[in-house]
Amino acid sequence: MTASLCVITGAMAAGKSTIAKALVQRFEKSAHVGGDGFLRMITKGGAVMGPVLGREAIEQLHLRQDIAMYAVRRFVGAGFTTVYQDILIGADFVRIKRALADLNPRIVVLNPDVETLARRDAERHKTGYGEHFPPNVLAEALQNDTP
């Protein structure tokens, strides 16, 4: 069987990690590439990721995505069925989709309603939403800006 790629995207707390972790267990040889892991590698000088991204935050977001795509290519090239999960919205979604098009990825977009995002976020040990970053920001960007 040829290694394949699945890209899972959605807003924070949409269930990307949960589904990716379950999906990779279904294959004999698989890899899970999570975009958050690369962002956490920045120990000092990390830009604030929020509803409005400054130049430095955009550069770091693209760095994270580029490293993830490199890892995806290496895993697929080594014969691993690979699941890449990250928040890919708007122009970033288009950029990643084009960059990985030669791998013929299956793309899954998780799009729960705002109330579900808020509830799931509140139930997690790591919360991402708050007063200055409500869940409707990413939910609306996903619906309105992502082809």
133 pLDDT tier (thresholds 50, 70, 90): confident
Q: What is the pLDDT of residue 50?
A: 85
Q: Residue 130: what are its φ and ψ, rounded to 5°?
A: -170, -165
Q: List pLDDT tens digits, range 57-79.
A: 999 999 999 999 999 999 999 99
Residue 130 burial (C-beta neighbours within 10 Å; 0-12, 13-18, 19+): exposed
> How would you classify the pairing of strands 30-34 and 106-110?
unpaired
* 43: pLDDT strictly greater than 60: yes
* 111: pLDDT strictly greater than 70: yes
* 1: pLDDT strictly greater than 70: no
| Cβ proximity of 24 and 18 under 8 Å | no
Check which CATH number belongs to the domain holding 48 and give it.
3.40.50.300
DSSP H or E segment with residue 34: strand 30-34
Q: What is the pLDDT of residue 143?
A: 92
Q: What is the pLDDT of residue 55?
A: 96
**Into how many domains does the chain fold?**
1
Range of the domain at 119: 5-145
Stretch 92-102: mean pLDDT, rounded?
Answer: 98
CA distances, 141 to each of 87, 88, 111, 133, 147 (Å): 11, 10, 11, 13, 11
